[in-house]
Structure 1
Amino acid sequence: MSFLDIDNVTKSYGNVEVLHRVDIDVQEGEFLVLVGPSGCGKSTLLNMIAGLENITGGNISINGRVVNDVHPSKRNIAMVFQSYALYPNMTVGQNMTFGMEMHGIPKPERDRKLADVAKLLQIENLLDRKPGQLSGGQRQRVAMGRALVRDPDVFLFDEPLSNLDAKLRVDMRTEIKKLHQKLGTTIVYVTHDQIEALTLSTRIAVMNKGYVQQLGTAKEVYDDPANMFVASFMGSPSMNLIPAKIVEDNGALAAEITDASGRPVRLRLSRDGAGVRAHLERRVILGIRPEAITDAEGADRRASNLQVLGNDVAVTEPAGSDTFVTMTLSGKDCIARMRADAEARAGAHFDFTVNMDKAVLFDPETEERIDR
């Protein structure tokens, strides 16, 4: 049985249903990330787990106990908010121990837990300061420390890094991951940042319009997206989605697209199952990640289906360790991710190498995968 079980959960405001039959099981020690655009329902779901929002339908269970009607203070969860929610008139130490004091935990035990967590988070020297004297990163550590001292069943993080600058976000991301690996705690973490989702999670629930679009590991969600929304939302730059037609080419199936000049180009498919064959001579969407389009030297030598695609280069964008190259395929901009010293030049013709083992296909009407 899962440690946190979200079973057929719905949420409505009046006649408007905003969360639709959500089913997610979280094992003990797992790091689940809820990711999606603003308004997709991820924070609402987190608040329902916390007890801050009522459930319209379904059940939420924590450690085998249904908590639908259990007060937030009785659920043994700890929440870290985007705004930190620290008491400005209390010291760091007082902020971290206040919850334990309210629950009647004796002072010696409070002091012991405070010392252990402060050492873990390396904030021993901040315990006598007020929140107004701290940086954003320090406040976030204090907010995390306040959750950790309680030793809850489940930690809930609501976009905890969104107020930090870019470098500090990366640093704190690493700290949170180290902390999870060290403590083995069960975490549900909400973010709209798909890089956070990919780097932190053991599993990801990609949400949109109140539905869970896909639930899986970072690799599954990134390499094997269930639909066009997941394909385009996860990854930076996002997956190239190219209009194509399935054709037969010397006995094999291929995706026919057009180059920058409008000439037809055929790329042989690695997958030709029943779902693909059912779309023979029909329009599809060919999905290819930017890193699967590169130059010959940068191509993955383990791939079984590398194909050359000659095309004109529209734009090159050096980005330090990589160069992003834009070209036109089937009338749409398509991005290739190359090595920093790749020889592609704007305005020139270039032989791209495409790893078709990484290609996926979608139905343009339903936007669902057809090659699984």
Structure 2
Amino acid sequence: MGFLDIRNVTKSYGQVEVLHRVDIAVEEGEFLVLVGPSGCGKSTLLNMIAGLEGITGGEIAIKGRVVNGVHPSKRNIAMVFQSYALYPNMTVGQNMTFGLEMHGVPKPARDRALADVAKLLQIDHLLDRKPGQLSGGQRQRVAMGRALVRNPDVFLFDEPLSNLDAKLRVDMRTEIKKLHQKLKTTIVYVTHDQIEAMTLSTRIAVMNRGHVQQLGTPKEIYDTPANLFVATFMGSPAMNIIPARVVMQDGVPHASVTDAEGTPRMLRFSQAAMAAWEGKDILLGIRPEAITDPEGADRKSGNIQSLPNRVTVTEPAGADTFVTMTLGGRDAIARMRADAPVAAGERYEFAVNMEKAVAFDPATELRIGG
């Protein structure tokens, strides 16, 4: 049993079911991120935890207490919204302590909580200002501070950084991570940004069309995606998905993929179990960083395979160069060192780390091998 338990939860609007039997146990102090495209059900699930949406089926429990039907104010949760939702006519200090005042917390206790949280968030010099006098990042800190002073059991964040510019978003991401490491609070955080999900979470629930596609650590989600949706949604650039066929050479399974000229190229699998797919078509999944130049290949890997192919496009990106080629009739991206000697139109000897390769069943789109 978790600190926050979501058990077999469904949500319907009329005859349309939008959340399908969601099961997630969140441990105390965990940072769970719900990630997925718009309309996947992540915000609906967050609102159900908060009590802002009713539960059609299943149970949600906080610290062992089932909260189905319990008013939001009685759940001891705090929510940080995308829009900040600050009262424009109140000062920063008043915004942060208003909830405590409504719950009948005495003024000395409110003042202590305000001082502690304002110092933690480095906004103690802003307490007498109005929200209209603050930057976007400062408003977000105030919204977080209003949640923190409550000392709730669970913090809920609904896309809190999406209104910020790119640099501020990165800065605030770091601040939220540091805050969680310091306070060890239990957080459920909704975002459509997979970079936010990877960097902030202790675990990720990848959602699509009302289903949890995979629940796991960032490393599990990234390295061993459960299906094609997770593989292509998580990661930037996305995982390369290459049509291939499993063939045996010297008793060892290989992926046969065609290069830019249509010539078959053999890439040896690290997983002996792929022999069971001999003669069958698969979809080979390889992250861009697992295709690189020979000098930049992972020296710890025991299975670096050579792949000669023609370069289509090169895209310098500062610390990296992204190189596009054709594999299996599709574009595939390699992530290479900034000074890798590659040029569009030339043939190049790529190095593929097949220890990092995964395979998918084209019919079910599930990862082969569990």
Using the size of structure 2 for normalisation, the TM-score is 0.99
CA distance in 1, matches of 2:254, 2:309: 18
CA distance in 2, matches of 1:131, 1:371: 53
Which residue matches 1:85?
85
Q: Using the TM superposition, give the Cα deviation of residue 280 of structure 1 relative to its aligned residue in structure 2, in angstroms.
A: 1.6
What amino acid does structure 2 have at the position aligned with 1:280?
E
Q: 1:356 pairs with 344, 351, 354, which one?
A: 354
Q: Using the TM superposition, give the Cα deviation of residue 250 of structure 1 relative to its aligned residue in structure 2, in angstroms.
A: 1.6
SS in 2 for 1:278: helix
Q: Using the TM superposition, give the Cα deviation of residue 237 of structure 1 relative to its aligned residue in structure 2, in angstroms.
A: 0.2
**Contact 1:272/1:371, CA 8 A, preserved across alignment:** no
CA distance in 2, matches of 1:249, 1:237: 32
CA distance in 1, matches of 2:368, 2:315: 33
**Contact 2:314/2:324, CA 8 A, preserved across alignment:** yes
What amino acid does structure 2 have at the position aligned with 1:286?
L
**Contact 2:308/2:347, CA 8 A, preserved across alignment:** yes
CA distance in 1, matches of 2:251, 2:182: 54
CA distance in 1, matches of 2:104, 2:364: 56
Which residue matches 1:263?
263
Q: 2:279 pairs with 274, 278, 281, which one?
A: 281
Which residue matches 2:149?
149
What amino acid does structure 2 have at the position aligned with 1:106?
P
CA distance in 1, matches of 2:37, 2:272: 33
CA distance in 1, matches of 2:349, 2:369: 27
**Contact 1:247/1:256, CA 8 A, preserved across alignment:** yes
Gaps of 5+ in 1: none
Which residue matches 1:305?
303
Which residue matches 2:322?
324
Q: Using the TM superposition, give the Cα deviation of residue 371 of structure 1 relative to its aligned residue in structure 2, in angstroms.
A: 2.7
SS in 2 for 1:247: strand
What amino acid does structure 1 have at the position aligned with 2:344?
A
Q: Using the TM superposition, give the Cα deviation of residue 302 of structure 1 relative to its aligned residue in structure 2, in angstroms.
A: 0.6
**Contact 2:252/2:275, CA 8 A, preserved across alignment:** no
**Percent of counterpart pairs with the same letter?**
78
Q: Using the TM superposition, give the Cα deviation of residue 75 of structure 1 relative to its aligned residue in structure 2, in angstroms.
A: 0.1
Q: CA RMSD in A?
A: 0.6
Q: Does 1:216 align with 2:227?
A: no
Which residue matches 1:111?
111
CA distance in 1, matches of 2:225, 2:349: 28
Which residue matches 2:343?
345
What amino acid does structure 1 have at the position aligned with 2:133?
Q
What amino acid does structure 2 have at the position aligned with 1:260?
A
CA distance in 2, matches of 1:370, 1:316: 32
Which residue matches 2:10?
10
What amino acid does structure 2 have at the position aligned with 1:288?
I
1:96-107 alignment, distance < 5 Å: 96-107=96-107
What amino acid does structure 1 have at the position aligned with 2:176?
I
Gaps of 5+ in 2: none
Runs of 4+ in 1 over 2 A off after TM superposition: 276-279
**Contact 1:327/1:335, CA 8 A, preserved across alignment:** yes
**Contact 2:202/2:217, CA 8 A, preserved across alignment:** yes
What amino acid does structure 1 have at the position aligned with 2:102?
M
What amino acid does structure 1 have at the position aligned with 2:360?
F
SS in 1 for 2:277: coil
Q: 1:295 pairs with 287, 293, 296, which one?
A: 293
Which residue matches 2:169?
169
Q: Using the TM superposition, give the Cα deviation of residue 272 of structure 1 relative to its aligned residue in structure 2, in angstroms.
A: 2.3
Which residue matches 1:180?
180
SS in 2 for 1:138: helix
Q: Does 1:367 align with 2:356?
A: no
Q: Using the TM superposition, give the Cα deviation of residue 370 of structure 1 relative to its aligned residue in structure 2, in angstroms.
A: 1.0
* Cα deviations by residue, 1:277-331 (Å, 9 ceiling, x for unpaired): 3322111100000000001110001101101000000000000000000000011
CA distance in 1, matches of 2:314, 2:70: 56
CA distance in 2, matches of 1:371, 1:23: 23
1:191-202 alignment, distance < 5 Å: 191-202=191-202
* Cα deviations by residue, 1:120-157 (Å, 9 ceiling, x for unpaired): 00001111111011100000000000000000000000
Q: Using the TM superposition, give the Cα deviation of residue 16 of structure 1 relative to its aligned residue in structure 2, in angstroms.
A: 0.6
CA distance in 1, matches of 2:275, 2:27: 38
CA distance in 1, matches of 2:249, 2:19: 45
Kindly tell me the number of residue pairs found equivalent between the two proteins: 370
**Contact 2:248/2:275, CA 8 A, preserved across alignment:** no
**Contact 1:48/1:55, CA 8 A, preserved across alignment:** yes
CA distance in 1, matches of 2:102, 2:44: 27
CA distance in 2, matches of 1:253, 1:362: 15
CA distance in 2, matches of 1:272, 1:362: 15
CA distance in 2, matches of 1:5, 1:20: 16
